[in-house]
Structure 1
Amino acid sequence: MNASANKPRYLLRPRIYIGDAIKIGPGRVELLRQVNATRSIAAAARSLSLPYKRAWLLIDSLNRGFGRPVVETAAGGKGGGGASLTPLGQRIIEHYDALEARLNTCADEQLQALCDLASGHNIL
């Protein structure tokens, strides 16, 4: 039996709005993950097929929204530049992942019902 046979056919990917300034969703979280993995905003953008400017603007909106950096950058030069997540950036990923897992666990019955409707089962 393959592993994909045991996976649910659905997944909730939350978008969180905190006030007017902070938006967190799967795209921004994946960008943070890629910055962490590549140590570069440019490389992270390339891995997600995003223009560099768009990636930079998304990170800047998080930095401004939280009032402190989620990503820190170092200027290029002899040693090269780079980017890294701050502890805040790491915590955003951790909390987002925990929220996503909890939502998917708690909503399993309703998600399965929607899948059944999509496949023609349990129609009223």
Structure 2
Amino acid sequence: MKPHPNRSEGPRLRIKIVFGDDEMIGPGKADLLEGIDRCGSIAAAGREMGMSYKRAWELIGTLNGMFRAPLVESTRGGPGGGGAVLTELGREVLAQYRAFETDAATGGADRLRQLQSLLRDITGQE
């Protein structure tokens, strides 16, 4: 009997923090920032996530415009290629968001277990 694909990992939180109508940060933007930090490129980070180049740039533009200084700095392509790095503020915003996720998961663990115990038993159903 296979576990239900949507429940195999157990309950988890996906937190979106909304600061204003068009100002928010959530798991997708945080993952994109981590990808940029790892890959050194907005395009490569977007590709890893299955995101178009245009969409990745739009999200970074939104993030850069939300905070008091840019979270990502980029250099244009050319013979040596372009690149992107997280700024000190970008690293701080990412760290604060991830810490918030951890705090929420830890603080809400009992409630998540209680909610999970109320789920319908789907064992053995395809």
Contact 1:16 1:24 in 2 (8 A): yes
* One-letter amino acid of the structure 1 residue matched with residue 57 of structure 2: W
1:13: how far off? Answer: 1.9
Normalising to structure 2: TM-score of the pair? 0.84
TM superposition outliers: structure 1 runs of 4+ over 3 Å: none
Q: Which moved more, 1:8-17 or 1:38-47?
A: 8-17
Q: Does 1:44 align with 2:45?
A: yes
* One-letter amino acid of the structure 2 residue matched with residue 81 of structure 1: G
The aligned counterpart of 1:71 is: 72
Higher relative contact order (CA 8 A, sep 6+): 2
The aligned counterpart of 1:4 is: none
* One-letter amino acid of the structure 2 residue matched with residue 80 of structure 1: G
Query: What aligned pairs does 1:85-104 form with structure 2 within 5 A after superposition?
Result: 85-104=86-105
Query: What aligned pairs does 1:51-62 form with structure 2 within 5 A after superposition?
Result: 51-62=52-63
Percent of pairs identical after alignment?
Answer: 42
Normalising to structure 1: TM-score of the pair? 0.85
1:92: how far off? Answer: 1.3
1:68: how far off? Answer: 2.1
User: Tell me, which stretches of 5 or more residues in structure 2 are unaligned?
Assistant: 1-8, 122-126
SS at match of 1:118: coil
Report which of the two has the higher share of helix: 1
Name the CA distance, whole Å, in 1 between partners of 2:107 and 2:13: 11
Name the CA distance, whole Å, in 2 between partners of 1:101 and 1:67: 25
Name the CA distance, whole Å, in 1 between partners of 2:94 and 2:83: 20
Please, what is the CA RMSD of the aligned residues? 1.4
Deviations 1:58-90 (A, max 9, x none): 000011111421110001122221001111111
1:45: how far off? Answer: 0.7
Name the CA distance, whole Å, in 2 between partners of 1:115 and 1:76: 49
SS at match of 1:17: strand
